[in-house]
Chain A
């Protein structure tokens, strides 16, 4: 509606980045609050966050924001004083209010303040400020304690804060709202509660009004709050920046040294021996400085995976409440760092996996009890470094994957044939769940059933050159393990020569290299193979796959590079191994993007282009 009238752009930007950060923290704290045994400290911190947001927005004149934050702050203040208890229902209201705050902040970020409907949410907050709440709440609590189910659905229970018996409709509700307005009016409150809580039951009124412009409150948290986190600017630790500057200083010194050596050489002031020595020293130092520099720049691009993980408690909480399940989310290794390009991409797949774990994996408390498991399910989200990979695991102690059911569904949907199924190992059946269109659900719900999620996971992970592994035991739970490269820009590679052409193989997929006499190759059913210790290794001749022109003489000895993962191995036959090198990945552009077996290209030391082989695609196409 009205464009933002803010003279000091810098001030506004500061406000936005600070508020965004505070809101992220707020989300964390609010979810933690419910579980916390000593909530005082947390409550204080939550109170401070919202207070800061309120202060800043009133300073900048964002009225809507002030109104919402002000009410939320009041409620939190009462919670802090112990006048309002921390119950899931009240938390729902507060979370809804924070969501609204996010929407409003997003509006400001977008540069245009929309006239959002905020009274609905405020109306839900106001009852919590009523003096008589303490009593009512107590009785409500007492009620909730005896007939427990009443408090479970979030909506009615909020109504329960006003009239005592939740299901009782209009009449008592209105009667009870009557004494409120004066108290609400004590607060500097532009819209008296009465306005938004007229004839129909109060719940209806507010929930009907909110969706008009605002998306339904719980939704924005499910991944859409991404747009709150700003990815165009980077905050870098000052120390890292200083280190970088030092390295650049070193580099400048080395450059000067190089110019000096070159000058000496041109002027003939230096004999060959000295030059050789100087130059090799220089090369070594340059090598050192540039690799340090590379590491440092890489480090600056690194973000803690926490950036992604921290929105999950919220998502898990709301999903668990929607599904009527009890979940204990445990997060480990959130400080693990990975490249921002990877961080940006793993958010979606992780959300899908978490949803799956909650929806398909974990059972309802009743079923769990019946199976002799603890009532509350556990979902463990962990990240660790391993070599130049990062491993993220999502593990639940739920029902596990029912291979028979998966197989039957895949058959029903015509994704596989019976013969194919019969030949499949358990692992391969697990892999069926990644097929597009696969779903064990008969009907699509809000949460799942369209058969898209796992396909998204698979494609995103593949895009990142990552691997996904499933471990699952029926009745015991499942674990999804993602192996991702630390960065997408630079990889360790093995350079190989195929009849004069040089190709690069990602070292991460190379298991070993062998020098073999070609006479040891066997042909089994038209497929060349090599007996390697106790396994038969299928071979692919790169010169055939890539149609390389043969050079005349055929050598008896050649090299075999064994590539693959634990269960799928394959030998690539090459003529020579050139060596190991760190290479920067360059895209081949849209035009040549989808050449089978080629993942990209890189530029070698002599300026030539070498293609990077995608071994997994080769393995896949050979099957």
Chain B
């Protein structure tokens, strides 16, 4: 994105290296484990699916496979914006199923060492479930919120789908 990010030199004595994909969402920067990300695509035509939670934007055709698309902005209770040239869908593996997440922009893959991850402060961003924040990475120039998407849907939400 606009501000160039300084490549992080990892200090190997501080635990193992973790690779993260960082993405932007309403001024904040987030990171997810690179191994969970299958691919990053531009916005295709999304087919709306009726009677689903508001943050489910619909489904798309990913080379012959139909996968659900979740709007991260809606899920985190952020203001909705128009999709622009930077908007991306991150296709991720969540509990063995492919799912797409709409984010404002994807910036880069960064390496950090495990020791750089700090527990998240009590309140990070009001709309985000504390559950799915697995930590915060505080580096000189930036603050990265580490997300665990498998925890993003509470059991209630999962149950709601299966009982619908």
Contacts and interface: CB of A to CB of B under 8 A. Distances in A.
Given A586-B66, A589-B66, A594-B164, A608 B61 contact: yes
B51 A592 contact: no
A603 B61 contact: yes
Contact of A595 (B50, B64, B65, B66): B50
Interface size class of B (residues with CB under 8 A): 20 to 34
B163 A589 contact: no
Interface stretch (B15-23, B52-60, B110-118, B136-144): B52-60
Contact of B47 (A545, A596, A609): A609
B65 A546 contact: no
B91 to A, nearest CB: 12
A142 interface: no
A593 B162 contact: yes
A598 B59 CA distance: 13
Given A547-B50, A547-B51, A588-B59, A603 B164 contact: no
Interface in B34-60: 44-45, 47-52, 56, 58-60
Contact of B52 (A545, A586, A595): A595
B97 interface: yes
Contacts of B132: none
Contacts of B51: 546-547, 595-597
Contacts of A473: none
A592 B97 CA distance: 11
Contacts of B97: 589-591
A610 interface: yes
B49 A611 contact: yes
A597 B66 CA distance: 18
B98 A610 contact: no
B61 A607 contact: yes
A601 interface: yes
B99 interface: yes
A587 interface: yes
B67 interface: yes
A548 interface: yes
Contact of B161 (A545, A547, A593, A609): A593
Nearest to A590: B97
B153 to A, nearest CB: 8
A345 interface: no
Given A548-B50, A609-B47, A591 B68 contact: yes
Contacts of B161: 591-594
Contacts of A412: none
The residue in A587, A601, A609 that gathers the most chain B C-beta atoms within 10 A of its C-beta is A609
A347 to B, nearest CB: 26
B155 to A, nearest CB: 14
Interface in B65-103: 65-68, 97-99
Given A547-B51, A601-B66, A603-B66, A592 B56 contact: yes
A601 B50 CA distance: 12
B48 A601 contact: no
A501 interface: yes
A589 B98 CA distance: 8
Nearest to B47: A609
Contacts of B50: 545-548, 595, 597-598, 611
B163 A601 contact: no
Nearest to A587: B66
Given A587-B66, A588-B68, A589-B98, A594 B162 contact: yes
Contacts of B47: 501, 601, 608-611
Contact of B65 (A545, A586, A594, A611): A586
Nearest to B99: A591
B36 to A, nearest CB: 15
Given A594-B161, A609-B59, A589 B49 contact: no
Contact of B163 (A546, A586, A594): A594
Interface in B103-136: none
Interface in A609-623: 609-611
Interface in B148-164: 161-164
Nearest to A591: B68
B59 A603 contact: no
A588 B44 CA distance: 17
Nearest to A549: B48
A596 B60 CA distance: 19
Given A607-B44, A611-B59, 17 more contacts: A501-B47, A501-B48, A546-B51, A586-B64, A586-B66, A588-B59, A590-B97, A594-B161, A594-B162, A595-B49, A597-B50, A601-B66, A607-B61, A609-B60, A609-B66, A611-B49, A611-B50
5 contacts: A590-B97, A595-B51, A598-B49, A607-B44, A609-B58
Query: Nearest 3 A-B pairs (CB), nearest first?
Result: A546-B50, A609-B47, A586-B66
Interface of A: 501, 545-548, 586-598, 601, 603, 607-611
